[in-house]
A and B are shown apart, each in its own frame.
Chain A
Protein backbone atom coordinates (compact mmCIF):
# COMPACT_ATOMS: atom_id res chain seq x y z
CA UNK A 1 0.00 0.00 0.00
CA UNK A 2 3.04 2.28 0.48
CA UNK A 3 3.21 2.83 -3.29
CA UNK A 4 -0.15 4.56 -3.18
CA UNK A 5 0.93 7.11 -0.58
CA UNK A 6 1.23 9.95 -3.13
CA UNK A 7 -2.30 9.29 -4.37
CA UNK A 8 -3.74 9.36 -0.85
CA UNK A 9 -1.97 12.66 -0.15
CA UNK A 10 -2.99 14.25 -3.43
CA UNK A 11 -6.52 12.89 -3.55
CA UNK A 12 -8.17 15.92 -1.98
CA UNK A 13 -6.52 18.14 -4.58
CA UNK A 14 -7.76 15.85 -7.36
CA UNK A 15 -11.28 16.03 -5.97
CA UNK A 16 -11.15 19.82 -6.14
CA UNK A 17 -10.09 19.45 -9.77
CA UNK A 18 -13.04 17.11 -10.32
CA UNK A 19 -15.34 19.77 -8.92
CA UNK A 20 -14.05 22.15 -11.60
CA UNK A 21 -14.51 19.46 -14.28
CA UNK A 22 -18.14 18.97 -13.27
CA UNK A 23 -18.74 22.72 -13.16
CA UNK A 24 -17.19 23.18 -16.61
CA UNK A 25 -19.09 20.22 -18.11
CA UNK A 26 -22.40 21.44 -16.70
CA UNK A 27 -21.78 25.01 -17.90
CA UNK A 28 -21.11 23.69 -21.40
CA UNK A 29 -23.85 21.05 -21.50
CA UNK A 30 -26.71 23.44 -20.77
CA UNK A 31 -26.19 25.88 -23.68
CA UNK A 32 -25.15 22.96 -25.93
CA UNK A 33 -28.48 21.24 -25.28
CA UNK A 34 -30.58 24.35 -25.90
CA UNK A 35 -28.68 25.21 -29.06
CA UNK A 36 -28.76 21.57 -30.18
CA UNK A 37 -32.55 21.31 -29.90
CA UNK A 38 -32.90 24.63 -31.71
CA UNK A 39 -30.57 23.53 -34.51
CA UNK A 40 -32.39 20.21 -34.93
CA UNK A 41 -35.75 22.02 -35.31
CA UNK A 42 -34.27 24.50 -37.81
CA UNK A 43 -32.66 21.61 -39.67
CA UNK A 44 -35.95 19.75 -40.02
CA UNK A 45 -38.33 22.67 -40.54
CA UNK A 46 -36.11 25.48 -41.81
CA UNK A 47 -35.88 26.79 -45.37
CA UNK A 48 -33.33 25.63 -47.90
CA UNK A 49 -30.79 28.34 -47.09
CA UNK A 50 -30.93 27.72 -43.36
CA UNK A 51 -30.61 23.98 -43.90
CA UNK A 52 -27.54 24.48 -46.09
CA UNK A 53 -25.98 26.67 -43.41
CA UNK A 54 -26.60 24.03 -40.73
CA UNK A 55 -25.20 21.27 -42.95
CA UNK A 56 -22.06 23.35 -43.45
CA UNK A 57 -21.74 23.82 -39.70
CA UNK A 58 -22.17 20.09 -39.08
CA UNK A 59 -19.57 19.29 -41.75
CA UNK A 60 -17.02 21.56 -40.08
CA UNK A 61 -17.64 20.27 -36.57
CA UNK A 62 -17.69 16.61 -37.65
CA UNK A 63 -14.38 17.00 -39.45
CA UNK A 64 -12.25 19.17 -37.14
CA UNK A 65 -10.94 17.88 -33.79
CA UNK A 66 -12.11 19.76 -30.69
CA UNK A 67 -8.48 20.21 -29.64
CA UNK A 68 -7.74 22.16 -32.85
CA UNK A 69 -10.66 24.52 -32.14
CA UNK A 70 -9.68 24.94 -28.49
CA UNK A 71 -6.07 25.82 -29.31
CA UNK A 72 -7.28 28.10 -32.13
CA UNK A 73 -9.41 30.11 -29.71
CA UNK A 74 -6.55 30.09 -27.20
CA UNK A 75 -4.20 31.73 -29.72
CA UNK A 76 -6.94 33.87 -31.26
CA UNK A 77 -8.10 35.68 -28.14
CA UNK A 78 -4.99 37.82 -27.60
CA UNK A 79 -4.84 38.54 -31.36
CA UNK A 80 -8.38 39.85 -31.63
CA UNK A 81 -8.36 41.57 -28.26
CA UNK A 82 -11.50 39.76 -27.14
CA UNK A 83 -11.27 39.84 -23.38
CA UNK A 84 -13.18 36.73 -22.38
CA UNK A 85 -12.16 34.83 -19.24
CA UNK A 86 -10.49 31.56 -20.39
CA UNK A 87 -13.11 29.50 -18.54
CA UNK A 88 -15.94 31.00 -20.60
CA UNK A 89 -13.83 30.80 -23.76
CA UNK A 90 -13.46 27.02 -23.52
CA UNK A 91 -17.06 26.58 -22.33
CA UNK A 92 -18.17 28.47 -25.44
CA UNK A 93 -16.09 26.26 -27.77
CA UNK A 94 -17.16 23.02 -26.11
CA UNK A 95 -20.85 23.96 -26.15
CA UNK A 96 -20.77 25.06 -29.81
CA UNK A 97 -18.99 21.78 -30.62
CA UNK A 98 -21.41 19.50 -28.78
CA UNK A 99 -24.47 21.43 -29.97
CA UNK A 100 -23.79 20.00 -33.44
CA UNK A 101 -23.77 16.38 -32.21
CA UNK A 102 -26.75 16.95 -29.93
CA UNK A 103 -28.72 18.43 -32.83
CA UNK A 104 -28.06 15.28 -34.88
CA UNK A 105 -29.34 13.08 -32.05
CA UNK A 106 -32.55 15.09 -31.68
CA UNK A 107 -33.05 15.27 -35.44
CA UNK A 108 -32.84 11.48 -35.61
CA UNK A 109 -35.45 11.35 -32.82
CA UNK A 110 -37.81 13.65 -34.73
CA UNK A 111 -37.36 11.81 -38.03
CA UNK A 112 -37.87 8.38 -36.49
CA UNK A 113 -41.51 9.13 -35.66
CA UNK A 114 -43.86 7.52 -38.17
CA UNK A 115 -45.40 9.75 -40.89
CA UNK A 116 -48.87 8.64 -39.74
CA UNK A 117 -48.54 10.76 -36.60
CA UNK A 118 -47.88 13.91 -38.58
CA UNK A 119 -50.80 13.15 -40.89
CA UNK A 120 -53.13 12.37 -37.99
CA UNK A 121 -52.26 15.58 -36.16
CA UNK A 122 -52.66 17.64 -39.29
CA UNK A 123 -55.99 16.04 -40.16
CA UNK A 124 -57.19 17.01 -36.68
CA UNK A 125 -56.46 20.59 -37.69
CA UNK A 126 -53.52 21.15 -35.34
CA UNK A 127 -51.27 24.10 -36.04
CA UNK A 128 -47.61 23.32 -36.53
CA UNK A 129 -46.72 24.77 -33.12
CA UNK A 130 -49.28 22.64 -31.30
CA UNK A 131 -48.32 19.55 -33.32
CA UNK A 132 -44.70 19.99 -32.29
CA UNK A 133 -45.52 20.79 -28.70
CA UNK A 134 -47.87 17.96 -27.80
CA UNK A 135 -47.16 15.23 -30.38
CA UNK A 136 -43.69 15.35 -31.86
CA UNK A 137 -41.33 16.83 -29.28
CA UNK A 138 -42.36 14.77 -26.23
CA UNK A 139 -41.79 11.56 -28.19
CA UNK A 140 -38.68 12.73 -30.02
CA UNK A 141 -37.03 13.88 -26.78
CA UNK A 142 -37.78 10.52 -25.17
CA UNK A 143 -36.27 8.63 -28.11
CA UNK A 144 -33.21 10.87 -28.14
CA UNK A 145 -32.58 10.65 -24.38
CA UNK A 146 -30.21 7.61 -24.30
CA UNK A 147 -27.84 8.79 -27.08
CA UNK A 148 -28.04 12.29 -25.58
CA UNK A 149 -26.74 10.96 -22.26
CA UNK A 150 -23.81 9.21 -23.97
CA UNK A 151 -22.96 12.54 -25.62
CA UNK A 152 -22.93 14.08 -22.14
CA UNK A 153 -20.45 11.40 -21.03
CA UNK A 154 -18.32 12.28 -24.05
CA UNK A 155 -18.57 15.98 -23.11
CA UNK A 156 -17.31 15.31 -19.58
CA UNK A 157 -14.35 13.42 -21.04
CA UNK A 158 -13.72 16.23 -23.55
CA UNK A 159 -13.26 18.78 -20.77
CA UNK A 160 -9.91 17.06 -20.06
CA UNK A 161 -8.60 18.69 -23.27
CA UNK A 162 -8.75 22.18 -21.76
CA UNK A 163 -5.74 21.23 -19.61
CA UNK A 164 -3.68 21.31 -22.82
CA UNK A 165 -4.50 25.02 -23.24
CA UNK A 166 -3.64 25.66 -19.61
CA UNK A 167 -6.96 25.60 -17.77
CA UNK A 168 -7.18 24.05 -14.35
CA UNK A 169 -9.47 21.06 -13.85
CA UNK A 170 -9.06 17.40 -12.94
CA UNK A 171 -6.51 16.52 -15.66
CA UNK A 172 -4.43 19.63 -14.98
CA UNK A 173 -4.65 19.00 -11.24
CA UNK A 174 -3.40 15.43 -11.70
CA UNK A 175 -0.50 16.65 -13.86
CA UNK A 176 0.45 19.11 -11.11
CA UNK A 177 0.38 16.39 -8.47
CA UNK A 178 2.51 14.16 -10.74
CA UNK A 179 5.10 16.92 -11.08
CA UNK A 180 5.29 17.22 -7.30
CA UNK A 181 5.27 13.53 -6.40
CA UNK A 182 6.82 11.90 -9.51
CA UNK A 183 4.28 9.10 -9.21
CA UNK A 184 2.47 9.24 -12.59
CA UNK A 185 1.09 5.72 -12.48
CA UNK A 186 -0.72 6.06 -9.16
CA UNK A 187 -1.94 9.63 -9.71
CA UNK A 188 -3.32 9.09 -13.22
CA UNK A 189 -5.05 5.92 -12.05
CA UNK A 190 -6.63 8.02 -9.30
CA UNK A 191 -7.73 10.65 -11.84
CA UNK A 192 -9.08 7.92 -14.14
CA UNK A 193 -11.04 6.48 -11.20
CA UNK A 194 -12.66 9.87 -10.50
CA UNK A 195 -13.54 10.37 -14.18
CA UNK A 196 -14.93 6.84 -14.23
CA UNK A 197 -17.11 7.56 -11.22
CA UNK A 198 -18.58 10.69 -12.85
CA UNK A 199 -19.03 9.20 -16.32
CA UNK A 200 -20.26 5.77 -15.24
CA UNK A 201 -22.92 7.35 -13.03
CA UNK A 202 -24.11 9.31 -16.06
CA UNK A 203 -23.93 6.22 -18.29
CA UNK A 204 -25.98 4.17 -15.81
CA UNK A 205 -28.61 6.90 -15.82
CA UNK A 206 -28.59 6.70 -19.64
CA UNK A 207 -29.14 2.95 -19.51
CA UNK A 208 -32.01 3.46 -17.08
CA UNK A 209 -33.59 5.93 -19.55
CA UNK A 210 -33.07 3.48 -22.41
CA UNK A 211 -35.01 0.81 -20.54
CA UNK A 212 -37.84 3.24 -19.92
CA UNK A 213 -37.95 4.27 -23.58
CA UNK A 214 -38.17 0.61 -24.63
CA UNK A 215 -41.03 -0.05 -22.18
CA UNK A 216 -43.05 2.69 -23.82
CA UNK A 217 -42.93 0.99 -27.23
Chain B
Protein backbone atom coordinates (compact mmCIF):
# COMPACT_ATOMS: atom_id res chain seq x y z
CA UNK B 1 0.00 0.00 0.00
CA UNK B 2 1.59 3.30 -1.09
CA UNK B 3 2.19 6.23 1.28
CA UNK B 4 2.02 4.21 4.47
CA UNK B 5 3.37 6.55 7.20
CA UNK B 6 4.80 3.72 9.32
CA UNK B 7 6.68 2.38 6.35
CA UNK B 8 7.99 5.81 5.40
CA UNK B 9 9.21 6.40 8.99
CA UNK B 10 11.40 3.28 8.66
CA UNK B 11 12.40 4.01 5.08
CA UNK B 12 13.77 7.53 5.56
CA UNK B 13 16.66 6.65 7.94
CA UNK B 14 17.71 3.77 5.65
CA UNK B 15 17.77 6.01 2.58
CA UNK B 16 19.67 8.71 4.47
CA UNK B 17 22.27 6.14 5.45
CA UNK B 18 22.67 5.39 1.75
CA UNK B 19 22.80 9.11 1.01
CA UNK B 20 25.76 9.45 3.38
CA UNK B 21 27.67 6.86 1.33
CA UNK B 22 26.66 8.58 -1.92
CA UNK B 23 27.84 11.96 -0.60
CA UNK B 24 31.12 10.50 0.64
CA UNK B 25 31.77 8.78 -2.68
CA UNK B 26 30.79 11.79 -4.80
CA UNK B 27 32.68 14.25 -2.57
CA UNK B 28 35.90 12.21 -2.63
CA UNK B 29 35.59 11.71 -6.40
CA UNK B 30 35.13 15.44 -7.01
CA UNK B 31 38.02 16.39 -4.70
CA UNK B 32 40.41 13.91 -6.34
CA UNK B 33 39.28 14.79 -9.86
CA UNK B 34 39.85 18.53 -9.29
CA UNK B 35 43.56 17.80 -8.75
CA UNK B 36 43.96 14.75 -11.04
CA UNK B 37 42.08 16.45 -13.89
CA UNK B 38 44.31 19.52 -13.68
CA UNK B 39 47.45 17.37 -13.74
CA UNK B 40 46.16 15.48 -16.80
CA UNK B 41 45.18 18.73 -18.55
CA UNK B 42 48.62 20.25 -17.92
CA UNK B 43 50.33 17.01 -19.01
CA UNK B 44 48.29 16.98 -22.18
CA UNK B 45 49.70 20.40 -23.10
CA UNK B 46 53.26 19.07 -23.00
CA UNK B 47 54.83 18.06 -26.33
CA UNK B 48 56.07 14.49 -26.52
CA UNK B 49 55.17 11.12 -24.95
CA UNK B 50 53.67 12.58 -21.73
CA UNK B 51 51.18 14.60 -23.78
CA UNK B 52 50.24 11.56 -25.89
CA UNK B 53 49.71 9.41 -22.81
CA UNK B 54 47.48 12.06 -21.20
CA UNK B 55 45.52 12.49 -24.44
CA UNK B 56 45.15 8.73 -24.87
CA UNK B 57 43.97 8.37 -21.28
CA UNK B 58 41.29 11.05 -21.81
CA UNK B 59 39.95 9.39 -24.97
CA UNK B 60 40.06 5.93 -23.41
CA UNK B 61 38.02 6.76 -20.31
CA UNK B 62 35.59 9.07 -22.10
CA UNK B 63 34.73 6.49 -24.73
CA UNK B 64 34.08 3.46 -22.51
CA UNK B 65 31.15 3.07 -20.08
CA UNK B 66 31.70 3.63 -16.36
CA UNK B 67 29.98 0.30 -15.66
CA UNK B 68 32.62 -1.63 -17.64
CA UNK B 69 35.36 0.28 -15.81
CA UNK B 70 33.71 -0.62 -12.50
CA UNK B 71 33.58 -4.32 -13.41
CA UNK B 72 37.14 -4.22 -14.67
CA UNK B 73 38.43 -2.77 -11.40
CA UNK B 74 36.20 -4.77 -9.06
CA UNK B 75 36.32 -8.21 -10.70
CA UNK B 76 39.44 -7.86 -12.82
CA UNK B 77 41.77 -6.60 -10.10
CA UNK B 78 40.70 -9.26 -7.62
CA UNK B 79 41.43 -11.91 -10.26
CA UNK B 80 44.85 -10.38 -10.83
CA UNK B 81 45.62 -10.77 -7.14
CA UNK B 82 45.01 -7.34 -5.60
CA UNK B 83 41.33 -7.14 -4.78
CA UNK B 84 39.77 -3.84 -3.71
CA UNK B 85 36.60 -3.33 -1.68
CA UNK B 86 33.42 -2.24 -3.49
CA UNK B 87 33.80 1.31 -2.21
CA UNK B 88 37.47 1.56 -3.22
CA UNK B 89 36.76 0.04 -6.66
CA UNK B 90 33.88 2.47 -7.13
CA UNK B 91 36.03 5.42 -6.13
CA UNK B 92 38.85 4.37 -8.45
CA UNK B 93 36.54 3.88 -11.45
CA UNK B 94 34.60 7.09 -10.78
CA UNK B 95 37.87 9.06 -10.54
CA UNK B 96 39.30 7.43 -13.67
CA UNK B 97 36.20 8.23 -15.74
CA UNK B 98 35.45 11.71 -14.40
CA UNK B 99 39.13 12.68 -14.33
CA UNK B 100 38.99 12.51 -18.13
CA UNK B 101 35.99 14.82 -18.28
CA UNK B 102 37.42 17.26 -15.72
CA UNK B 103 40.72 17.36 -17.66
CA UNK B 104 38.80 18.35 -20.79
CA UNK B 105 37.04 21.11 -18.82
CA UNK B 106 40.40 22.48 -17.61
CA UNK B 107 41.80 22.25 -21.13
CA UNK B 108 38.90 24.36 -22.41
CA UNK B 109 39.60 26.89 -19.63
CA UNK B 110 43.33 27.00 -20.41
CA UNK B 111 42.65 27.51 -24.11
CA UNK B 112 40.29 30.38 -23.35
CA UNK B 113 43.16 32.37 -21.80
CA UNK B 114 44.74 34.45 -24.56
CA UNK B 115 48.24 33.39 -25.60
CA UNK B 116 49.29 37.02 -25.25
CA UNK B 117 49.05 36.65 -21.50
CA UNK B 118 51.56 33.79 -21.58
CA UNK B 119 53.87 35.92 -23.75
CA UNK B 120 53.44 39.01 -21.56
CA UNK B 121 54.22 37.00 -18.44
CA UNK B 122 57.32 35.57 -20.03
CA UNK B 123 58.37 39.00 -21.31
CA UNK B 124 58.18 40.28 -17.72
CA UNK B 125 60.60 37.51 -16.77
CA UNK B 126 58.09 35.53 -14.70
CA UNK B 127 58.98 31.97 -13.86
CA UNK B 128 56.58 29.39 -15.23
CA UNK B 129 55.30 28.54 -11.72
CA UNK B 130 54.62 32.24 -10.88
CA UNK B 131 53.00 32.83 -14.26
CA UNK B 132 50.62 29.91 -13.82
CA UNK B 133 49.73 30.44 -10.16
CA UNK B 134 49.28 34.22 -10.23
CA UNK B 135 48.06 34.96 -13.78
CA UNK B 136 46.73 31.97 -15.67
CA UNK B 137 45.12 29.59 -13.17
CA UNK B 138 43.00 32.18 -11.29
CA UNK B 139 41.31 33.05 -14.59
CA UNK B 140 40.98 29.40 -15.60
CA UNK B 141 39.41 28.49 -12.26
CA UNK B 142 36.80 31.24 -12.52
CA UNK B 143 35.87 30.10 -16.02
CA UNK B 144 35.62 26.39 -15.30
CA UNK B 145 33.28 26.70 -12.32
CA UNK B 146 30.02 26.38 -14.34
CA UNK B 147 31.10 23.23 -16.29
CA UNK B 148 32.63 21.78 -13.11
CA UNK B 149 29.29 22.29 -11.36
CA UNK B 150 27.60 20.27 -14.10
CA UNK B 151 30.28 17.60 -13.74
CA UNK B 152 29.72 17.37 -9.98
CA UNK B 153 26.01 16.81 -10.65
CA UNK B 154 26.94 14.10 -13.17
CA UNK B 155 29.25 12.50 -10.57
CA UNK B 156 26.46 12.35 -7.97
CA UNK B 157 24.26 10.62 -10.55
CA UNK B 158 27.12 8.33 -11.64
CA UNK B 159 27.60 7.06 -8.09
CA UNK B 160 24.30 5.17 -8.48
CA UNK B 161 26.15 2.72 -10.75
CA UNK B 162 28.32 1.37 -7.91
CA UNK B 163 25.12 -0.38 -6.77
CA UNK B 164 26.14 -2.92 -9.42
CA UNK B 165 29.14 -3.91 -7.27
CA UNK B 166 27.04 -4.03 -4.07
CA UNK B 167 28.07 -0.75 -2.41
CA UNK B 168 25.21 0.23 -0.07
CA UNK B 169 24.50 3.69 -1.44
CA UNK B 170 21.07 5.14 -2.30
CA UNK B 171 20.48 3.01 -5.40
CA UNK B 172 21.43 -0.30 -3.76
CA UNK B 173 19.33 0.45 -0.68
CA UNK B 174 16.43 1.35 -2.97
CA UNK B 175 16.74 -2.01 -4.71
CA UNK B 176 16.94 -3.93 -1.43
CA UNK B 177 13.90 -2.14 0.01
CA UNK B 178 11.84 -2.59 -3.13
CA UNK B 179 12.68 -6.29 -3.23
CA UNK B 180 11.87 -6.89 0.44
CA UNK B 181 8.86 -4.59 0.90
CA UNK B 182 7.25 -4.46 -2.55
CA UNK B 183 6.35 -0.87 -1.70
CA UNK B 184 7.74 0.32 -5.02
CA UNK B 185 6.28 3.82 -5.19
CA UNK B 186 7.36 5.04 -1.75
CA UNK B 187 10.90 3.75 -2.10
CA UNK B 188 11.51 5.19 -5.55
CA UNK B 189 9.89 8.50 -4.67
CA UNK B 190 12.16 8.74 -1.63
CA UNK B 191 15.27 7.89 -3.62
CA UNK B 192 14.37 10.36 -6.39
CA UNK B 193 13.76 13.15 -3.86
CA UNK B 194 17.13 12.56 -2.18
CA UNK B 195 18.95 12.60 -5.53
CA UNK B 196 17.10 15.79 -6.51
CA UNK B 197 18.07 17.39 -3.19
CA UNK B 198 21.74 16.39 -3.52
CA UNK B 199 22.06 17.57 -7.12
CA UNK B 200 20.24 20.82 -6.30
CA UNK B 201 22.65 21.49 -3.44
CA UNK B 202 25.60 20.83 -5.76
CA UNK B 203 24.10 23.25 -8.30
CA UNK B 204 23.59 25.90 -5.63
CA UNK B 205 27.14 25.59 -4.29
CA UNK B 206 28.39 25.96 -7.87
CA UNK B 207 26.30 29.12 -8.39
CA UNK B 208 27.56 30.67 -5.14
CA UNK B 209 31.19 29.86 -5.99
CA UNK B 210 30.68 31.32 -9.44
CA UNK B 211 29.42 34.57 -7.93
CA UNK B 212 32.29 34.62 -5.45
CA UNK B 213 34.90 34.29 -8.20
CA UNK B 214 33.24 36.72 -10.62
CA UNK B 215 36.05 39.25 -9.99
CA UNK B 216 38.41 37.38 -12.31
CA UNK B 217 36.28 37.93 -15.38
Contact = CB atoms under 8 A, between A and B. Distances in A.
Contacts of A71: 171, 174-175, 178, 188
Nearest to A163: B67
Given A79-B184, A185-B72, A196-B64, A67 B161 contact: yes
Interface string A50-66: 00000000011011111
B200 A63 contact: yes
A4 interface: no
B72 A171 contact: no
B79 interface: yes
B210 interface: no
Q: Which of A62, A63, A185 has the most CB of B within 10 A?
A: A63
B114 to A, nearest CB: 18
Given A164-B164, A178-B71, A196-B64, 19 more contacts: A64-B195, A65-B161, A67-B171, A68-B160, A68-B174, A71-B171, A71-B178, A75-B184, A153-B63, A157-B65, A157-B66, A175-B71, A185-B77, A185-B80, A188-B76, A195-B68, A196-B63, A199-B64, A200-B59
Interface of A: 59-60, 62-68, 71-72, 75-76, 79, 153, 157-158, 160-161, 163-164, 171, 174-175, 178, 182-185, 188-189, 191-192, 195-196, 199-200, 203
B161 A76 contact: no
Nearest to B202: A63
* Chain B interface size range: 35 or more
Contacts, number: 110
Interface string B57-93: 0011011111111011001110110000000000000
A52 B178 CA distance: 32
Nearest to B178: A75
Contacts of B199: 62-63
Contact of A67 (B63, B69, B163, B184): B163
8 contacts: A65-B171, A71-B178, A153-B62, A153-B63, A164-B67, A174-B68, A174-B71, A185-B80
Contacts of A65: 157-158, 160-161, 171, 195
B2 to A, nearest CB: 10
A60 B184 contact: no
A131 B145 CA distance: 36
Given A64-B195, A185-B76, A203-B59, A157 B64 contact: yes
A160 B68 contact: yes
A184 B195 contact: no
B25 interface: no
B191 A68 contact: yes
A3 B24 CA distance: 37
Given A68-B171, A178-B75, A161 B67 contact: yes
